[in-house]
Chains A and B, each alone.
Chain A
Amino acid sequence: MPDQAELLPGTLDLLILKAVSLGPLHGYGVLLRIGQISGQALLIEQGALYPALFRLVRRGLLKASWGTSENNRRAKFYELTSAGRKRLREEVEGWNRLAEAIASALAAQPEES
């Protein structure tokens, strides 16, 4: 998959929060959802998802509960806590500001003297 981009550090958490904000998901579901909403453009190693998920749970941004998946298997489902929702809003704003700043910086043309 040559046209997939590596993740920038710290962006995996943001993507997970975003994916889960659209509805409760189990781990594999989070992976699928990220693929779906990013148009399969981002490369995530599947295993790396889990430490990130657990970290978010520990920080109180996600909460987890065991349930049954669409494949009729036992799986742990994640959803956003209110702290998680707030955090997602802040992160999105911060990311957008950064992206705009980088974009405008990169768009600058050499000035004529």
Chain B
Amino acid sequence: MKLIAYLRSLAAKVFHRARIEEEVEEELRAHLQHRADDLERSGLNRPEAERRAGIEFGGRERYREESYEALGGNLIETLVQDVRYSLRLLRKSPGFTMAAVSTLALAIGANAVVFSVMNALILHPLDVPQAESLYQLMRGKDADGFHSFPDYLDLRDRNRGFDELMACDGAVAGLDTGGNPSSAWVVLVSGNYFDGLRLQPYLGRLFHASDERGANSAPYIVLSHAYWHGHFHDDPGVVGRVVQVNKHPFTIVGVAPPEFHGTLVFFFPDFFVPIANQEQIEGKNDLSNREKRWVFSVIGHLKAGTSPARAISDLNSIGADLEKRYPKEDNDMTFTLARPSLYGDYLDRPVRAFLTALTLLAGLILLAACTNLGSLFAARAADRSRELSLRLALGSSRRRILRQLFTEATLISLLGGALGLSCSVLLVRALSQWQPFTKYPIHLQVKPDASVYGLALLLALVSGFIFGAVPVAQILRTNPHEVIKAGSTGKVARRITLRDLLLAAQIAICAVLITSSLVAVRGLVRSLHTDFGFQPQNAILADTDLMMGGYRGEQVPAMQRRMLDAVKAIPGVESAGLVNPAPLYAGSVNSVVFLDKTADLTTANAAARAFLYKMSPEYFHAAGTALLSGRSFTWHDDQDAPRVAVVNAEFARRLFGSVTAAVGKHYKLKDGTRIEVVGVVELGKYHSLTEDPKPAMFLPLSQSPSSETWMVVRSSQAYTNPHPDDNTQQLAVAIRNTLRDLDSGLPVYIQTWVKELDHPQFAPRMATYSLGILGLIATILCMTGIFGTAAYSVSKRLKELGIRIALGAQRKEVLEAALGRALKLLAFGSAAGLLLGILASRVLAFIVYQATPRDPLVLAGVVLAMALLGLLATWIPAQRALSVAPLMLLREE
């Protein structure tokens, strides 16, 4: 703080003083010249005249200094004096200073963070030229962003509203640059993509529409700048290099500009390839399939002078024509335009709603902070009314006193603002680096910029002035004689003020948040010990997609078998099995199943919707899933054997009435395949931790092949090793090496199963964190609010308390008189908050596992927390009330 005051006076002195000094200097010089002119006229020669003029003028240096001070040096002096005085006062009352600064820091910090995120996600457009005219095509009533490739081509060639329409789709591919194969995130883009976005290469070239000449004709790669920096160490020699993508040779032709990472704000792909080579990347060729809507998004710049409405009606007329021409494939071909940065309304609307809610919340925090600061400042002004009256009586001007108060308020705002802002910058930086999903290149790039700093400073100063103004009326009304005569008793307000209501509301909100966050924490802890239907402890997952290694057809199951055998041979591995997808993983597939007797296989006649998993025989053993009845698969359940399945208990109950009844029965898939149930396993969690019991079926990989599989590897040593983590790490390394020995060109993603469960736990964890942070903020605000009210009531009634003590009041009575009001507010607020919190927990139950507020631990926790909070907040005022020395007080009056 001293530093700021120093800098300010320094700046003022340097700039202001230089100007004033120059002017003073010029004026004094004019004086000397005039005097010398006169002397010269009376007969002296010029040099002598100038010498005499100088002597007659007197001490030039002294007058210059005095002149300067008379002119304005004073202003800075006063300011420095005010700042120094305020600093001294603030240091003398650390309780007040801490309460005020932390309250403000919270409010400013919260607002700065929310605004930064808003700035990054919504206000700040994509880093592409003319982002304001870039739109994404959404199809049909549901504003679906997906299109089929032939539809895209028709729209691209026939529309008149866009300069160019570009298509893109995301995928994972295995990239082998020689040595270390890894999976990478690819965006497949139409040839006109970069030209349509008006981008220039950072290095080499970008590909163009002319590069595409049919399927798999353009094996070119444009690297993202970040991937080039991270994986090729800024080597400009990569241009022209041939690398393997899914075992197909691709040529790196260039590097995209540094600020460009596709058209989704939070997605950071590794490289771009032409969509014409879809088959080599995604393993299938849908370029001429009009029925399959797989193109992730179609974007384009509106032509200059074309309104969105006109472009839409043009698209709709093309759509109507396509519907007529392809009645089987195309329907619902109406279009709307949306912003591509958040994938149109799909994410845009929820993100906006979420951020609006956050902004409101931050606004509320600011409001609460201002009320609290108001009561803090009022309490302080009441304490200082004697001092202020004395100063008034001694001739200090009201203006000077007010200026000093505002200096104090400004100092607190700057201090609070700086603290809040630096905390928010740290938080935002952590947020930017945070990648919630290790497997996806998703993160939020939030860079606090000048507008964020500006907003924080503005908020700090404005709120500083608002609360600084609270005691002004008090001071202007002050009649020095009255106050000095009567002391600062005033009238103790008995009615309920707006401030009381706000404080009670704050306490209630705080209690709600504490209740909810405790419920969430309990839920989270419980969910870690929930029954997943498998045992994640001591298991490792290894995700591979054999397509990335170039395996096709019959090679796939053979290689999968080899991988299993090799891993099982690693010492310490108890068992290993394959499954796809892993349960509780985002790729879960839901399909309809029918009773054996159902003939008409339409969705309306379906017996259930069941999650579908493909697995190798040993999966249940490796996963630790209990078999309730019947048998698991063997390698003999292959293409030549009858189709079989293992279902879960819920599936068995719904289709066949009970677990035991299910074994040996048949059911049908959508395509009419008859499947025999050979076993039943326990119920598990498949999609989310909070789901109701869901039917699931497991089919043998040998009958329903899949190139992507998750290998579940269960280690046996973990129980004997004191450091299971080290053990798991070692095993992970061993698995990686084993698989590399089998095929060095196959990318593998390895993670412990416990860690992989972070994904399904993401939502409840986020809920817990944000509730925890909000709860903390609310707690601090509550404490400063209660502190302010209690301090105000104590200082207003010091004299009364003194008399009570003199008349022999007990400590308890004194405390009751001094703090009764604040404690009553606390009690009412907490009770209301607890009730609301119990209601709110019903809402929480959607995301948090087994959220129940009727948990004695939670209830006790809330009561304890609120009591502790009240105790802390009233500690200083209570001490002050108790230490009132009646004699001193009475003598003083």
Report chain B residues within 8 Å CB of A55: 70
**B31 located at the interface, meaning its Cβ lies under 8 Å from any Cβ of chain A in the complex:** yes
A47 near B59: Cβ-Cβ < 8 Å: yes
Partner of B63, one of A51, A69, A71, A75: A51
Report chain A residues within 8 Å CB of B34: 26, 28-29, 69, 71, 73, 75
Give the docked Cα–Cα distance between A9 and B804 (Å): 56
Report chain A residues within 8 Å CB of B324: none
B56 near A50: Cβ-Cβ < 8 Å: no
Count: A-B pairs, CB below 8 Å: 64
CB distance from B784 to the nearest CB of A (A): 42
Give the docked Cα–Cα distance between A76 and B67 (Å): 14
> Given A51-B63, A71-B37, A74-B26, are A46 and B31 also a contact pair (CB < 8 Å)?
yes
CB distance from A6 to the nearest CB of B (A): 14
Encoded as 1 (CB less than 8 Å from any A CB) or 0, chain B from 50 to 70 comes to: 000000111110110011011
CB distance from B866 to the nearest CB of A (A): 57
A27 near B63: Cβ-Cβ < 8 Å: no
Report chain B residues within 8 Å CB of A74: 26, 30
**A103 located at the interface, meaning its Cβ lies under 8 Å from any Cβ of chain B in the complex:** no
Give the docked Cα–Cα distance between A71 and B35 (Å): 11
Give the interface size bracket for A toward B.
20 to 34
**A54 located at the interface, meaning its Cβ lies under 8 Å from any Cβ of chain B in the complex:** yes
Report chain B residues within 8 Å CB of A54: 24, 67, 70-71
**A3 located at the interface, meaning its Cβ lies under 8 Å from any Cβ of chain B in the complex:** no
> Given A46-B35, A46-B57, A48-B58, are A26 and B63 also a contact pair (CB < 8 Å)?
no
Give the docked Cα–Cα distance between A52 and B35 (Å): 19
Give the docked Cα–Cα distance between A55 and B74 (Å): 11
Report chain A residues within 8 Å CB of B71: 54, 57-58
Closest to A54 in B: B70
Those of A46-96 within 8 Å (CB) of chain B: 46-48, 50-52, 54-55, 57-58, 69, 71, 73-76
**B312 located at the interface, meaning its Cβ lies under 8 Å from any Cβ of chain A in the complex:** no
A73 near B33: Cβ-Cβ < 8 Å: yes
Report chain B residues within 8 Å CB of A111: none
CB distance from A55 to the nearest CB of B (A): 4
CB distance from B753 to the nearest CB of A (A): 79
A45 near B30: Cβ-Cβ < 8 Å: no
How many residues of B are in contact with the other chain, CB < 8 A?
A: 24
Report chain B residues within 8 Å CB of A45: 58
Those of A1-49 within 8 Å (CB) of chain B: 26-29, 45-48
Give the docked Cα–Cα distance between A76 and B30 (Å): 8
CB distance from B702 to the nearest CB of A (A): 97
CB distance from A70 to the nearest CB of B (A): 9
Give the docked Cα–Cα distance between A81 and B395 (Å): 27
Closest to A69 in B: B34
Report chain A residues within 8 Å CB of B74: 58
B26 near A50: Cβ-Cβ < 8 Å: no
Report chain A residues within 8 Å CB of B70: 51-52, 54-55, 58
**B72 located at the interface, meaning its Cβ lies under 8 Å from any Cβ of chain A in the complex:** yes
A73 near B30: Cβ-Cβ < 8 Å: yes
> Given A51-B67, A51-B70, A54-B70, are A28 and B59 also a contact pair (CB < 8 Å)?
no
Give the docked Cα–Cα distance between A46 and B70 (Å): 16
B67 near A58: Cβ-Cβ < 8 Å: no
CB distance from B398 to the nearest CB of A (A): 18
Partner of A27, one of B31, B37, B62, B72: B31
A27 near B30: Cβ-Cβ < 8 Å: yes
**B815 located at the interface, meaning its Cβ lies under 8 Å from any Cβ of chain A in the complex:** no
**B76 located at the interface, meaning its Cβ lies under 8 Å from any Cβ of chain A in the complex:** no
CB distance from B33 to the nearest CB of A (A): 6
Closest to B26 in A: A74
**B472 located at the interface, meaning its Cβ lies under 8 Å from any Cβ of chain A in the complex:** no
CB distance from B25 to the nearest CB of A (A): 11
**Which of A26, A29, A71 is the most central at the interface, judged by chain B CB atoms within 10 Å of its CB?**
A71
Report chain A residues within 8 Å CB of B35: 28, 46
**B28 located at the interface, meaning its Cβ lies under 8 Å from any Cβ of chain A in the complex:** yes
**B77 located at the interface, meaning its Cβ lies under 8 Å from any Cβ of chain A in the complex:** no
Closest to B69 in A: A51
**Which 8 A-B pairs rank lowest in CB-CB distance, beginning with the nearest?**
A47-B63, A54-B70, A51-B66, A28-B34, A47-B58, A55-B70, A75-B30, A45-B58
A residues in contact (CB < 8 Å) with B: 26-29, 45-48, 50-52, 54-55, 57-58, 69, 71, 73-76
Q: A54-B70, A55-B70, A75-B30 are in contact. List 17 more A-B contacts (CB 8 A).
A: A27-B27, A28-B35, A46-B57, A47-B28, A47-B59, A47-B63, A48-B58, A50-B63, A51-B63, A52-B70, A54-B67, A57-B71, A58-B74, A69-B34, A71-B37, A75-B34, A76-B27
Show 17 A/B contacts (Cβ-Cβ < 8 Å), sorted by A. A26-B30, A47-B28, A47-B63, A48-B63, A50-B24, A50-B27, A50-B66, A54-B71, A55-B70, A58-B71, A58-B74, A69-B30, A69-B34, A73-B30, A75-B27, A75-B30, A76-B27
